[in-house]
Structure 1
Amino acid sequence: MKKGLWYAILAYTAWGLLPLYWKSFETLLAGEILSHRVVWSFVFMAVFLLIGRGRWPEIRKMVTNGKVLLLVGASGLLISSNWLIFIWAVNNGHVIETSLGYYITPLFNVMLGVFFLREKPSGSQWLAVALAGAGVLLATIDYGRFPWISVTLATTFGLYSLVKKRVSYDASIGLAGETAVVFPIALVYVIYLHLTHHDSAWSLPPLSLTLLLLSGVATALPLLWFAKAAVRLPLSMLGFIQYIGPSITLMLSIFVFKENFSPMLLISFALIWTALVVYAMASVRVARTSVAK
C-alpha cells in the first residue's frame, strides 16, 4: 500500500504540473501540440510494448475483437478531445477553468452512473451533485458566460472513464490502442502542416523541441503510475488523492500564471470543495457498508 500511495502521488502531481509543460509550447496551435502528443505517445507505447514480453497475445485479442476495437476507438477520440481542450485552455489563459473541470469530474461521474449504469446514489451523493451544480452556476455568473471549458473537460473525461469500464485492459494496452486509433489522423495533420508551411514545431528552440518530442513520455508515465497505484490502493483512498492534480493546477493558475480569482469564484470553488467532502464521506460510508455485508 505504501508503494501504491507513492505511485498515486507521482501520477496526480505530474498531471497537476502539466500546465507548466504545455505552456512551454504556447507559440504553437493547440491542434499541432495535440498531434505531436498523439504521435509521440503512440511511438513511446509501441516501443514500451515491444520491450515488454508476453503482451502480444493481449494486443492480438484486442485488435481481433470488433466490439472492443469500437470501444477503444471511442475512448481514443474522447481522450484526444479532452487533451485538445486542456491544451487550448492552458495556452489561452484559462487554467482556473481546467482546475474547475477536474474538480467536478467525479461528481459528473455520479450522473453518468445514474443514466448509463443504473446506479442509485445516496441522498448525500445527490447533495454533493447539487452543491457542485450551484458552484458551476456561480462560476457562470462570475465569468459572464457558461464555463464550457470546465464542463467539456468533465464531460469528455467522464465519458472516457465510462467507456473504459467496458474494456478490461490494463493502462499500457489501453493507451496503446487509443493512440493507435487517432495516430493516423494526427500523423496526417502533422504532415499537412509541414507541407503547407504552417508548422511551427520544428522551428522551436532545441530544448523546447526536445520537450515536445518527449510529450509521449509525459503522457504515458503518469497513466502507468496511476495503473500501478490503482491495483495497490483502496478506491476510497485513490479518490481522495486524485484532488492533488486540480489543486496544484489551481495554485499554478493563481500564483504562477496570475489569473484573476474573484471572491465569487472563491465561493464557487468553496461549494465544489464542500461537495467533494460530502461525496467522499458518502462513498466511504457506502464502501464500509458493503464490506460489512
Structure 2
Amino acid sequence: MKDAAGELRAGLWTAAGAFVLWGLMPLYWHLLKAVPSLQIVAHRILWSTLLLVAWLAWKRGGGWLRATLAQPRLAWMLALSALLIGCNWALYIWAVNAGHVIETSLGYFINPLLNVVIGVLFLRERLSTPQWASVAMAAAGVLWLTFHYGSFPWIALGLALSFALYGLVRKLAAVESIPGLGVESLYLLLPGLALLLWGETHGQGGFFAGWGAGLVALLVVGGALTALPLIGFAYAVRRVPLSVVGVMQYIAPTLQFLLGVFFFQEAFDRDRAIGFAFIWAALAVFAFDGWRRSRRRALAPVA
C-alpha cells in the first residue's frame, strides 16, 4: 500500500509538472519571436527527435524501431498522426508569436469536448444527457464568438481539431506512447531538416550565424521542452486515474489564458468573456458528470 501511495503521489506531481510546463510554454516561444515560426517548428522537431531516439535506444536497445513498426498498419497510422501533430505545433507556435495566446487557450479548452464528439462519430460511443448539454453549450460559445466578436475562431478550432484527430489515431494505433512518439518524430525529421536547410539558404535562418548564442541555445532546449512533458505525461497516466488526469489537463489552458490576459495583455472584452463563459460552463458540466460517473463505479458492489 505504501508503494502504491508513493507511485500515485509521484504520478500526480509528474502530471502537474507536465501540464504546468505546457501552460507556460507561450513565455518560452515568445523569447523566440525573432525566429520565423516554421524555423522554430523545424528546430523543435530536430532536437526533440534526437532526444527521444537517444532515450529509446538507451531504454530499449537499437531494435526498438523495427519492433514498433512490425505491427500491422502501424506505419501509415503513425505517419498520419505525425502529420496532425506537426500541423498542431506549427499553428500553435505561429499563433503565440502572432498575439493569439487567448485563442490558443480556447482551443485546448474546447479539445476535451471535441474528443467526445469524435468518439460519437468514429467510435460509436454514446453520450449522456449532461454530455450532450456540454457539447451544445460549447457550440453556443463558439457561435457567439463567431458572430459577436467579429471573427471565426479558426485558430482555436484548428488546434482543437488537429489534436483531437491526433488523439483518435493514437487511440486506434496499438503502440505505447513513447515509441509511437519516437516514430512520429522520425517521420517529421526529414521535412524538418528540409525546412532548416531552406531557411538557412533563403535568408530566414540564422542558426549558424545571425541569431546569436542565446537564441541558438533556446532552440536546442526547445526540443527538450517538447519531449519531456510528453514523457512525463506517459509516466503519469500509468499511475494516476484517468478521471483525475482529465481534470488536471485544464491546468495548461488556464495558465495560457491567464498569460494572454495579464502578461501579453491581449484584448478580452465583454463579448469574448461571454463566449468563454459558455465554454467554461460546458466544461464544468462535463467534469461534474465525469466525476459522478467515476464515483458510481467506485461505489458499485463487486459481483
TM class by shorter-chain length?
A: over 0.9
Q: Is the 8 A contact 2:36 2:204 kept in 1?
A: no
Cα distance in 1 between the residues matched to 2:221 and 2:55: 14
Cα distance in 1 between the residues matched to 2:213 and 2:72: 42
Q: Is the 8 A contact 1:28 1:201 kept in 2?
A: no
Q: Is the 8 A contact 2:74 2:174 kept in 1?
A: no
Partner of 1:44: 51
Cα distance in 1 between the residues matched to 2:33 and 2:70: 40
Cα distance in 1 between the residues matched to 2:157 and 2:225: 24
Question: Which region of structure 1 is more displaced relative to structure 2, 186-195 or 156-165?
Answer: 186-195
Aligned with residue 256 of structure 2, among 232, 246, 249: 249
Aligned with residue 153 of structure 2, among 147, 150, 155: 147
- Is residue 158 from structure 1 mapped to residue 146 from structure 2 by the alignment? no
Counterpart of 2:192 in structure 1: which amino acid?
A
Q: Is the 8 A contact 2:56 2:64 kept in 1?
A: no
TM-score, reference length from structure 1: 0.95
Structure 1 unmatched ranges of 5 or more? none
What's the offset of the Cα at 1:290?
Answer: 4.3
Counterpart of 1:86 in structure 2: which amino acid?
Y
Q: How does 1:113-262 map to 2 (within 5 A)?
A: 113-202=119-208, 203-262=210-269
Cα distance in 2 between the residues matched to 1:152 and 1:48: 31
Q: 1:11-62 CA distances to partner (integer Å, 9 max, x unpaired)? A: 000000110111111122211111111111111111112222x355543222
Cα distance in 2 between the residues matched to 1:79 and 1:201: 24
Cα distance in 2 between the residues matched to 1:168 and 1:143: 42
- Is residue 19 from structure 1 mapped to residue 30 from structure 2 by the alignment? no
Cα-Cα RMSD: 1.5
Partner of 1:67: 73
Following superposition, which runs of at least 4 residues in structure 1 exceed 4 angstroms of deviation? 55-58
Cα distance in 2 between the residues matched to 1:78 and 1:143: 28
Q: Is the 8 A contact 2:44 2:226 kept in 1?
A: yes
Counterpart of 1:134 in structure 2: which amino acid?
A
Question: Which region of structure 1 is more displaced relative to structure 2, 58-67 or 258-267?
Answer: 58-67
How many residues were matched structurally? 292
Partner of 1:79: 85
Question: Which region of structure 1 is more displaced relative to structure 2, 241-250 or 274-283?
Answer: 274-283
What is the percentage of aligned positions where both structures have the same residue? 40
TM-score, reference length from structure 2: 0.92
Counterpart of 2:233 in structure 1: which amino acid?
F
What's the offset of the Cα at 1:142?
Answer: 3.9
What's the offset of the Cα at 1:65?
Answer: 3.5
